[in-house]
Amino acid sequence: MAELSVVEEDITTLDVDAIVNAANEALLGGGGVDGAIHQAAGPELLEACRALGGCPTGEAKITPGFNLPARHVIHTVGPVWQSGRDGEDDLLASCYRRSIEVAAENGVTSIAFPAISTGVFEFPPERAAPIAIKSVRIALREAPGIKEVVFCCFGEESAARHNAALSSA
């Protein structure tokens, strides 16, 4: 079983096989984590993303990492929070599951996730952290090649929520 950990760092600096980008459906860059990843990876990432033709919410696609320490970037599109009654929980869980599946299909052994959808997409962070941990644990059952999963948090509160979810899951 993979080792799961929580860190409070800049995801673009992590030396893992793949980092996950919390992207928008166009995959053409944006703000927050998405903007930081595009800036750190260089303009080649934008060109690679253009070739993918977008990505639906809840799905994931992979590109090279270009100028990042990570060899790959797995782009996933999280749900925009509406009311909690529009399938947001299931879509968020799918982001984590599909990212693990894409990672496994591409020989990734270590992967780092941001807190998907908890920024500009306004998914409640206290609700998102347990979904993230549970979804990854379930997906890892079918991905024995993945040995390390890092939940890379922006800020102490996010790290505390993920650590609490990790301890109680």
Give the catalytic positions in this structure. Answer: 34
CA–CA separation, 59 and 61 (whole Å): 7
Rg of the chain on CA atoms, in Å = 14
CA–CA separation, 88 and 71 (whole Å): 30
Return the exposure string of 35-55: e unless at least 16 CB atoms fall within 10 Å of the residue's CB, then b: ebbbebbeeebeebbeeeebb
Tell me how crowded residue 94 is: count the other CB atoms within 10 A of its CB.
23
Alpha helices, H only, 18-106: 32-41, 43-52, 88-105
